[in-house]
Amino acid sequence: MLAVALSLAAAATFALSALQIDSVTGRVGPVQLARWQMGLAFLMTAAVSLALGGWRTVGRDEFLWLLGSSAAGIMLATLTYVATIQLLGPRLNALLFTLSAPFALALGYGFRGETVNLLQGAGVGLILAGIVLAILGPGGRDGQRRQGALALGLALGVVTALGQATGSLFARPAMLAGVEPFTAMAIRSGLGTLFFLVLLAVPALRPPERPVVGDLWRIGGSAFSGVFLGMSLLMAALAVGDVGIVTTLSSTAPILILPMVWYVTRQAPNAVAWAGAALAVAGTALITLAAA
């Protein structure tokens, strides 16, 4: 039950973070945004970890697992996650993120021997049906920021989901070994920050100027809600729940983000958007119940 509560709380913070990231679209590029977001998240999580003495819970093996988790779930998935939001908007991005569930099931089956049954297979089918319905239905492309962005955005969204699932898989042994959750996230975000700082050596990836103060506040808010709070909740959930269940429940953002989008834009999502999100969430629920 604790893993369920932690995972759902993480999903809500991910949805809020996506809206905050979307608010700076067009002014801050994906690499620059990821660099600032990870840097601020590292400062937040490292401070808490230091206060809790969490660094004492990390050994060499745990650090190596978290390094792999950072490479997949932070260095790769954060960059593609931000880019997907900027291409397709937060609603479609959240829907694509539910693909983390089937990816996590496949990875858990292949690498940890976790079983996949028919009900879980049906859940995967519902997730895919929800995504297809939401994209191909009326208003499915409303979130696009430019023409021709759908194919690239979909591809990056799939990469994000796979990276997130792989990152969770790699983090699981470290969390089972007793690594303190904020410390785990500090290591993951710190390594991610170093990676994005190294990218400054590539001239084409250097931003022309720093974000303005207002955008930095929004980026900081996304770092707090989506990384500091959300990812730490996810790490805590991984310490007490299976990879498939945790990733599934933390992927329920599609339905949680719809009322948030409604509040921000003052426009109610259409029935197809709700139906697609409901199918995706039903799929995640079916996967969870089948794994219980």
* Segments forming the whole domain that contains residue 51: 2-291
pLDDT per residue rounded down to tens, the chain (292 residues): 788 788 888 888 988 988 898 888 878 888 899 999 999 999 999 999 999 998 999 999 999 999 999 999 999 999 999 889 888 888 888 888 878 878 877 887 777 666 677 887 888 888 888 888 877 766 655 555 556 678 888 999 999 999 988 998 898 889 889 899 889 989 999 999 999 999 988 888 888 788 888 899 999 999 999 888 887 787 788 777 776 677 667 777 787 788 888 888 777 778 888 888 888 888 877 776 666 5
Cα 67 to the center of its chain, rounded Å: 17
Predicted local distance difference test score (pLDDT) of residue 251: 72
φ, ψ of residue 11 to 5 degrees: the values are -60, -40
pTM: 0.82
Separation of alpha carbons 148 and 267, rounded Å? 24
Predicted local distance difference test score (pLDDT) of residue 194: 95
Predicted local distance difference test score (pLDDT) of residue 289: 67
**Cα 28 to Cα 42, 94, 103, 205, distances in angstroms:** 20, 20, 30, 12
C-alpha atoms less than 13 angstroms from C-alpha of 120 in its C-beta half-sphere: 20
Q: Residue 259: how many CB atoms within 10 A of its CB?
A: 12
Strands (E) across 12-61 are located at none
Predicted local distance difference test score (pLDDT) of residue 140: 56
SS3 251: coil
Specify the number of domains making up the chain. Answer: 1
